[in-house]
C-alpha cells in the first residue's frame, strides 16, 4: 500500500510518499490498527498522516520487523524523499537512526537506475521500478523481474541483496517521458533542461513565476559521479516504449482512443505479452539513447512523450499546448534537442 506523510522537519514542510509491505494479512491488519490512531484510513486510497517519515517507519517496524518500507517515486518534486520542493538531501536526514532499515527506493517514472547510480549515497540501496498505476491500463508499465521462489522472504532477500542472479532486471519507461523529468512551467508551456533553468535564474521567462525543478535537475544537484557510471554487479534495466503509444503514433490518434485500444488488444492476442524475455539485451548505455522516429527504429529524435510533461531543453521559452519531451536523446555526449512542443 502507498501512504502519504505531510509534516514539518528542519523548518520546512515535507511531503513523502512511502510503500509499505507486510508479510501476511494478519500483520497488515495490525498495521492498520497502529496507523489508524494517526489518520482515517478509509478517507482515501492513499491515506495521509501527520507523522514524520521516521515516525512512520518506527510505527510499522514495531508491528513486525519483517515489514518493508520503500520511499515511493523518490525524485518527483512534490511528494517524495528527494524531491526538490519538499524532500531531503539524504536518507539519513529523513530517517535518522532508522535509515539503515531502508533497503530500497522506487525510482519513479521520471528517473531510471542509470540516473540514480550517479549518487554514491544510494550504492547500498536497491532500485525498484513500479508502475505507479492510477488506472488499470497503467498497471505494469514498469516492473521488477525476479528469478527466485515467489514468497515474501525470498523476494525481499533478492531485493536486499541486489543479486542479479535473483533480481534479474527492471522494466523501465524512458525517463525523458516522465511527467517530472525536466524543469518547467506547465501553464506557460515552458520546458527547460537544468542549464536553461540556471540561466533563467529559476524563473519562467513568460510569466516570472518559479519554475518547477524536475527530476533530472535534482539528480544532477545531488550526483557525485558522471553520467554513465555503472557499478560492478548492478541490476540491469530494460527500457520499453509502451505498445499503445507506438500504435497511437502510427495511427495519429490519442493513446487512450478506442481505435488504439482495439488494435492494442488485437496485437496482444496475436503476439502475447510485450514484456521482454530474460535473453533480451540490456538498454543502451546511460546517457546514450538511440534516436527513434517513435517506432523504436533508428532515426532522429521525435517529440513523443507523456502529456503534461514538465520540461525539456530549450534555448528560449516557447508556448505550446501540452508540451511533450522527445522519446530518445541522440547518442552523443552532451547533446540535447532544443525546445519541443
- For 334, half-sphere exposure in the C-beta direction (CA atoms, 13 angstrom radius) is 0
What distance in Å separates the CA atoms of residue 20 and residue 106, rounded to the nearest whole number?
12
What distance in Å separates the CA atoms of residue 61 and residue 66, rounded to the nearest whole number?
7
pLDDT single digits (tens) 154-209? 999 999 999 999 999 999 989 998 899 999 999 999 999 999 999 999 999 999 99
Confidence band (pLDDT; 50, 70, 90) for 283? Answer: low
What distance in Å separates the CA atoms of residue 175 and residue 327, rounded to the nearest whole number?
9
Q: Comparing C-alpha atoms, which of 109, 107, 83 is closest to residue 178? A: 109
Give the position of cell 495519429.
Answer: 252
Angle subtended at Cα 232 by Cα 242 and Cα 108, rounded to the nearest 5 degrees? 35
**Radius of gyration over every alpha carbon of the chain, rounded to an integer in angstroms:** 20
Mean pLDDT of the chain: 83
In this predicted structure, the answer to whether residue 135 has a pLDDT above a threshold of 60 is: yes
- Whether 321 is covered by a domain: the verdict is no
- Whether 194 is covered by a domain: the verdict is no
- Exposure string of 229-249, with b = 16+ CB inside 10 Å and e = fewer, is beeeeebbbbbbbbbbbbbbb
In this predicted structure, the answer to whether residue 297 has a pLDDT above a threshold of 70 is: no
- What cell numbers appear for 220 in the block? 544532477
- Whether 307 is covered by a domain: the verdict is no
pLDDT at residue 276, rounded to an integer: 60
pLDDT at residue 45, rounded to an integer: 84
Contact 234, 113 (CB under 8 A): yes
| Total number of domains in the chain | 1
In this predicted structure, the answer to whether residue 30 has a pLDDT above a threshold of 80 is: yes
Confidence band (pLDDT; 50, 70, 90) for 92? Answer: very high
What distance in Å separates the CA atoms of residue 134 and residue 206, rounded to the nearest whole number?
32
Looking at the chain, the whole-number percentage of residues with pLDDT higher than 90 is 70
- Specify the pTM: 0.79
Which residues form the domain of 153? 2-175
What distance in Å separates the CA atoms of residue 7 and residue 93, rounded to the nearest whole number?
14
Three-class secondary structure assignment of the chain: CEEEEEEEECCEEEEEEEEEECCCHHHHHHHHHHHCCCCCHHHCCCCEECCCHHHHHHHHHHHCCCCEEEECCCCCCCCCCCCCCCCCCCHHHHHHHHHHHCCEEECCCCCCHHHHCCCHHHCCCEEECCCCCCCHHHCCCCEEEECCCCCHHHHHHHHHHCCCCCEEEEEECCHHHCCCCCEEEHHHCEEECHHHHHHCCCECCCCCCECECCHHHHHHHHCCCCCCCCCCCCCCEEECCCHHHHHHHHHCCCCCCHHHHHHHHHHHHHHCCCCCCCCCCCCCCCCCCCCCCCCCCCCCCCCCCCCCCCCCCCCCCCCCCCCCCCCCCCCCCCCCCCCCC
In this predicted structure, the answer to whether residue 242 has a pLDDT above a threshold of 60 is: yes
In this structure, of 74-78, 137-141, 162-166, the range with the lowest mean pLDDT score is 137-141
Strand partners, 4: 17, 48
Contact 7, 50 (CB under 8 A): yes
Contact 291, 284 (CB under 8 A): no
Tell me the CATH number at 59: 3.20.20
- What cell numbers appear for 316 in the block? 528560449
Amino acid at each position: 500500500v502507498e501512504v502519504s506523510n505531510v509534516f514539518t522537519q528542519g523548518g520546512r514542510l515535507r511531503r513523502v510518499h512511502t510503500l509499505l509491505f507486510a508479510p501476511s494479512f494478519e500483520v497488515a491488519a495490525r498495521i492498520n490498527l497502529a496507523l489508524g490512531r494517526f489518520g482515517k484510513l478509509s478517507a482515501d486510497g492513499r491515506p495521509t498522516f501527520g507523522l514524520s517519515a521516521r515516525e512512520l517507519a518506527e510505527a510499522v517496524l514495531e508491528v513486525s520487523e519483517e515489514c518493508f518500507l520503500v520511499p515511493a517515486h523518490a525524485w518527483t518534486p512534490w511528494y517524495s524523499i528527494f524531491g526538490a520542493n519538499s524532500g531531503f538531501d539524504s536518507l539519513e536526514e529523513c530517517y535518522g537512526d532508522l535509515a539503515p532499515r531502508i533497503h530500497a527506493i522506487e525510482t519513479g517514472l521520471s528517473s531510471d537506475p542509470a540516473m540514480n547510480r550517479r549518487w554514491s549515497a544510494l550504492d547500498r540501496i536497491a532500485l525498484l521500478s513500479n508502475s505507479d498505476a492510477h488506472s488499470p491500463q497503467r498497471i505494469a508499465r514498469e516492473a521488477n523481474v525476479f528469478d527466485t521462489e515467489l514468497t515474501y522472504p525470498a523476494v525481499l532477500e533478492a531485493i536486499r541483496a541486489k543479486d542479479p542472479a535473483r533480481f534479474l532486471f527492471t522494466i523501465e519507461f524512458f525517463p525523458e517521458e516522465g511527467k517530472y523529468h525536466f524543469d518547467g512551467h506547465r501553464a506557460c508551456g515552458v520546458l527547460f533542461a537544468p542549464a536553461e533553468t540556471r540561466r533563467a535564474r529559476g524563473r519562467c521567462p513568460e510569466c516570472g513565476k518559479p519554475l518547477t525543478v524536475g527530476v533530472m535537475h535534482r539528480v544532477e544537484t545531488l550526483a557525485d559521479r558522471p553520467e554513465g557510471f555503472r557499478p560492478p554487479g548492478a541490476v540491469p534495466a530494460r527500457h520499453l516504449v509502451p505498445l499503445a503509444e507506438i500504435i497511437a503514433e502510427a495511427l495519429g490518434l490519442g493513446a487512450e482512443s478506442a481505435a488504439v485500444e482495439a488494435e492494442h488488444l488485437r496485437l496482444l492476442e496475436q503476439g502475447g505479452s510485450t514484456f521482454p524475455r530474460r535473453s533480451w539485451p540490456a538498454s543502451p548505455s546511460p546517457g546514450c539513447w538511440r534516436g527513434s522516429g517513435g517506432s523504436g527504429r533508428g532515426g532522429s529524435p521525435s517529440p513523443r512523450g507523456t502529456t503534461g510533461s514538465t520540461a525539456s531543453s530549450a534555448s528560449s521559452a516557447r508556448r505550446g499546448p501540452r508540451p511533450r519531451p522527445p522519446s530518445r536523446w541522440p547518442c552523443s555526449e552532451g547533446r540535447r534537442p532544443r525546445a519541443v512542443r
